[in-house]
Amino acid sequence: MKFTPLYASELNNETDKSLTVRYEAGHTIGAVTVSEGYLFIKKGLRRYYIAYEAAQKIFRRVRRLHANICCGDGDIEVDYLVVMADDRELIEVTLPGRKAAKQLMEEIREAAPSLDTTAPVRADAEDEEEAV
């Protein structure tokens, strides 16, 4: 398999052969594979990877999307996995559901206990707190 580094770092310098072994040994949920030392994300035709030490933050984001459903309007909540490094978002990938997203976050916390997995505070949420 061919892997593309998600972030240019000296920590992301393994060969495709060694990454394939880690990828196949990992646990996959949706498009994300959690393995020892690395997180793999399949997006489109590419497989990206990042070492946990190279990531600044990995967290779950939930967005509420408006949908026209057969019997009226409603909102659907969609879960995403976001990977950050150098104070910028590198990738956002859709997760298959809330239960899978929670399980994935638990596996990431077990694989990289020192990694920050808390979502950043939204700017509009800070404005609401100041207004109160």
pLDDT, tens digit (0-9, with 9 covering 90-100), for 81-120 = 999 999 999 999 999 999 999 999 999 999 999 999 998 8
Which residue range is the domain that position 109 belongs to? 4-120
- pLDDT at position 126, please? 52
Q: Do the domain assignments include residue 128?
A: no
Q: Do the domain assignments include residue 78?
A: yes
C-alpha separations of 117 from 10, 31, 73, 129 in Å: 22, 18, 33, 23
Q: Do the domain assignments include residue 38?
A: yes
Q: Do the domain assignments include residue 132?
A: no
Q: Do the domain assignments include residue 131?
A: no
Instruction: Name which of 40, 45, 43 is nearest 23 in CA terms.
Output: 40
Residues 22-56 have pLDDT tens digits of 999 999 999 999 999 999 999 999 999 999 999 99
Q: Do the domain assignments include residue 125?
A: no
Q: Do the domain assignments include residue 94?
A: yes
Provide the strand spans (E) within the chain. 4-5, 27-29, 32-34, 38-43, 46-51, 57-69, 72-85, 88-94
Evaluate if residue 132 carries a pLDDT over 50: no
- Asked if 60 contacts 83 with a C-beta cutoff of 8 angstroms, the reply is no
Distance (Å, whole) CA 36 – CA 15: 15
pTM of the model: 0.84
Distance (Å, whole) CA 46 – CA 60: 21
- pLDDT at position 32, please? 97
Instruction: Decide which of 39 and 11 is more confident.
Output: 39
Total domains in the chain come to 1
Q: Do the domain assignments include residue 127?
A: no
